[in-house]
Structures are given as C-alpha cells and as structure tokens.
C-alpha cells in the first residue's frame, strides 16, 4: 500500500471517527444544556454601537431565550477525545502497525492548531457562561471587549512565535502574481508574528456569522474541508487529518443545529474555530487566500463594519440589520433559505480559494 493511499484511508477513518464521537457527545450534551437552561435570560436589546436593536428583536427575541448556547462544546470536546484516543493507542503495547500510524499529533503540523482550538474554546466557554447568567461588562453580558482582545492577541502571539522561533517560518506565499506564474514567497521576518496576530483578530471579528440555525456550522465546514484538501495535496497529512476531523465533527454538529436548532454554537465554538482557522491558514501557507476560502466570514464581518461607518458618517443605515444575514431575514427571506444560499456561496468560495492556492 502506497503512502498516498494509506494516508487517504487514515483521513477517512479519523474523519468518520470524529463524526461518530461528536454525534454521541451531542446526544449527551443537549439534555444537559437544557437542564442548565444554558441560554440568555434576556434577549439582546442593543446593537454593537449602543442603539436599540428593534429589527433584530422582532425576529429573534424568542430563540435567544429558549435555545441553549454552548453547542461548540461538541466541537472541541470531540477533538479532545479523538486526540486522547490516538495518543493512548500510540503508547499502549498494541502490535498493530496501522493503528500506531493513526496518530496525527505532530510538532510541525498540529501542535499549534490544537493549542489554538482548546485555548480559544475555553475562553469562549467562559464568555458563554457569563452571557447566560447576564454577567460581565459587554453588551448582553460576557467578557469585556478588552479582555477578549487580550486573549486573542495572546493566542496569536504564542502561535506566531512558535512558528517563527521554533519552526523558522518567516515568509508567506503570494499566489498568482503576473511576473511569477506560480506566485512567490515573501520573506517578512519577525513581522510574521505580527501578521499572525492581525489575521487572528480579523478572523475573530468574523464570528458574527453565528446567528441563524445551521449557518455557522455550514460555513466552517466548507472552510476546514478546503484547508484539509490543501494540506493533503501539500503532503501535510497530519494537518489534513486534523482539518477533516473538524469537518467530521461539524457534520454531526449540524445534524442538531439545522432548523429547528437544538443548540447554538456560542462563543466557545466560534472563538475556537476562528483561531484554529488562522493557525491552519499559516501552516498551509495559505493566509493570502484565507479571505477567499473564508469569504462568507468576510462578508458577515464586513457588513457590520460598513454599517457602523455608514451610521457614523452618513447618519443612516445601509442594511435593515447586521450582520447581513439578518438583513435578508428582515426583507422576508426564510432562515433556511439564507442558510442554504450562504452554504452554496461558501462552497464556491472555498473551491475558488483552493484552486488559486494550488495553481498559484
């Protein structure tokens, strides 16, 4: 059996395993979240700039206070279980060669993504707990903006520093420039660390996509499938397994998150996935196509920024409500229509980003 075939089978086995684990975890987690009444006790009343969120409230006031947050626990806990299982298999005296080779934990490829996922997810869980119980200084409760900013910067600093100092990574690939048909590698030195932090912050800002049943899960599914494919083609098989394991987990997550949702991803899922996405983009040297592969996230975050600027400069809104998926709700689109159409756009953008990265 060739390495290519074995690694393809390895990816398939661990993707399916992650999906099964997530399905089981979800079935146990959902009743717990409902027993804890792990939802907001009061719907969000104000927009990010402090204005009355009247359009949002007219559409989401009931779901905000009856559907639990914290569904993202499924994502990182399932990956944690998978990591522990392959680690256990690796240290046990089991004389089955292919079982030993299922291990995907490696210093060069998966240490930083695993660190980003777990550290950011735990911070997100703390934020969810504060939101649920109406604590904290942020709008609607939760960690303050400065606290969130600090943790995101620290995760970015650790991730960027590890790649720069430990693995000696200091350049980024710029695809499809006219003078360089295959693109070229731009050496940015220590600014590599700064760029990691900046991209992490930008990715975190895109977390506003978690607003309609199934929307965030579908968006991140296409993103991690895209990066998994890129990693596999590049020969980063451990990273490919990790990305596709997240894809498998998200598949099961969506089983319970599509309309009508049993739970929402919450900050514990969003923050974990956005920071992991950042790490994966850098390790696959695909950070320049991240805005394309994650185009839906850019659209969502961009709509909020443009709306805020318009209200400040022009004193009026461009959209009825933001992020932009709420605008489409406000003009009459059904939530499932928005979800499916955004999924379609997300898949197309992910495929486009993959093509540009691999061709360039």
Separation between Cα atoms, residue 272 and residue 105, nearest integer Å: 18
Q: Nearest to residue 246, comparing CAs of 259, 231, 261?
A: 231
CB neighbour list of residue 73: distance below 8 Å, 6 or more residues apart: 25, 29, 121, 125, 268, 269
CA 223 to CA 125: how far, in whole Å?
Answer: 22
How many other C-beta atoms can be found within 10 angstroms of the C-beta atom of residue 246? 33
User: Distance (Å, rounded) from C-alpha 53 to C-alpha 211?
Assistant: 14
Nearest C-alpha neighbor of 248 from the set 217, 276, 272: 217
Per-residue pLDDT of the chain in tens (360 residues, 90 and over written 9): 678 888 999 999 999 999 999 999 999 999 999 999 998 766 555 555 555 555 555 555 556 678 999 999 999 999 999 999 999 988 877 776 677 788 999 999 999 999 999 999 999 999 999 999 877 666 556 898 899 999 999 999 999 999 999 999 999 998 866 556 566 788 999 999 999 999 999 999 888 888 789 999 999 999 999 999 999 999 999 999 999 999 999 999 999 998 889 999 999 999 999 999 999 999 999 999 999 999 999 999 998 898 888 888 888 888 888 898 888 988 989 999 999 999 999 999 999 999 999 987
Give residue 96's pLDDT.
Answer: 67
Q: What are phi and psi of 48, to 5 degrees?
A: -65, -25
Boundaries of domain holding 65? 3-359
Strands 184-187 and 171-174 turn out to be: antiparallel
Cis peptide before 252 (omega within 30 of 0): no
- How far apart (Å, rounded) are the C-alpha atoms in residues 241 and 8? 9
Task: Tell me if 332 sits within 8 A of 59, measured CB to CB.
Answer: no
Q: Which residues contact 201 (CB under 8 A, 6 or more apart)?
A: 149, 152, 153, 156
- Closest CA relative to residue 163, chosen from 291, 292, 281: 281
**Can the peptide bond before residue 260 be classed as cis, meaning omega within 30 degrees of 0?**
yes
Q: Tell me what pLDDT residue 133 has.
A: 84
**Cβ-contact 116, 279 below 8 angstroms:** yes
**Residue 225 CB contacts under 8 Å (≥ 6 apart), including other chains:** 243, 244, 247, 350
Q: What is the pLDDT of residue 150?
A: 96
Structural domains in the chain (count): 1
Q: Hey, is 316 helix, strand or coil? A: coil
3-state secondary structure of 174: strand
Q: Tokens at residue 213, please?
A: 């049943």
Say if residues 239 and 113 touch (Cβ distance below 8 Å): yes
Identify any residues that bridge with 174 across adjacent strands, giving them in sequence order: 184
pTM attached to this predicted model: 0.92
Say if CB 226 and CB 293 are below 8 A apart: yes
State the sign of the Cα–Cα–Cα–Cα dihedral 163, 166, 169, 170: positive
């Amino acid at each position: 059996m060739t390495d290519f075939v074995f690694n393809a089978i390895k990816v398939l086995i661990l993707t399916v395993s992650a999906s099964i684990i997530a399905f089981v975890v979800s079935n146990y987690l959902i009743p717990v979240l409902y027993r804890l009444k792990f939802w907001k006790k009061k719907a969000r009343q104000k927009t990010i700039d402090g204005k009355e969120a009247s359009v949002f409230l007219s559409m989401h006031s009931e779901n905000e206070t009856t559907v639990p947050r914290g569904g993202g626990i499924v994502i990182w806990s399932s990956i944690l279980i998978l990591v522990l299982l392959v680690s256990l298999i690796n240290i046990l005296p089991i004389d089955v060669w292919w079982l030993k080779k299922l291990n995907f934990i490696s210093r060069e490829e998966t240490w930083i993504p695993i660190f980003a996922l777990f550290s950011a997810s735990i911070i997100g869980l703390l934020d969810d707990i504060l939101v649920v119980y109406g604590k904290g200084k942020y709008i609607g409760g939760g960690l303050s903006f400065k606290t969130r900013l600090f943790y995101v910067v620290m995760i970015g600093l650790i991730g960027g520093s590890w790649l720069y100092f430990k693995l000696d990574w200091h350049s980024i690939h710029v695809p499809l420039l006219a003078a360089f048909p295959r693109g070229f590698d731009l050496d940015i030195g220590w600014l590599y660390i700064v760029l990691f932090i900046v991209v992490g912050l930008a990715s975190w800002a895109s977390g506003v996509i978690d607003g309609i049943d199934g929307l965030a899960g579908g968006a991140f599914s296409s993103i991690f499938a895209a990066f998994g494919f890129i990693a596999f083609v590049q020969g980063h098989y451990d990273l490919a397994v990790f990305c596709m394991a997240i894809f498998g987990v998200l598949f099961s997550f969506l089983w319970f998150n599509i309309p009508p949702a049993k739970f929402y991803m919450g900050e514990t899922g969003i923050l974990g996935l956005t920071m992991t996405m950042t790490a994966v983009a850098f390790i696959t040297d695909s950070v320049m196509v991240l805005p394309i592969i994650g185009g839906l996230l850019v659209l969502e975050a961009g709509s909020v920024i443009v709306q805020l600027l318009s209200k400040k400069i022009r004193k009026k809104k461009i959209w009825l409500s933001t992020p932009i998926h709420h605008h489409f709700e406000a003009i009459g689109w059904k939530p499932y229509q928005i979800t499916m159409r955004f999924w379609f756009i997300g898949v197309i953008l992910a495929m486009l980003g993959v093509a540009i990265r691999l061709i360039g």
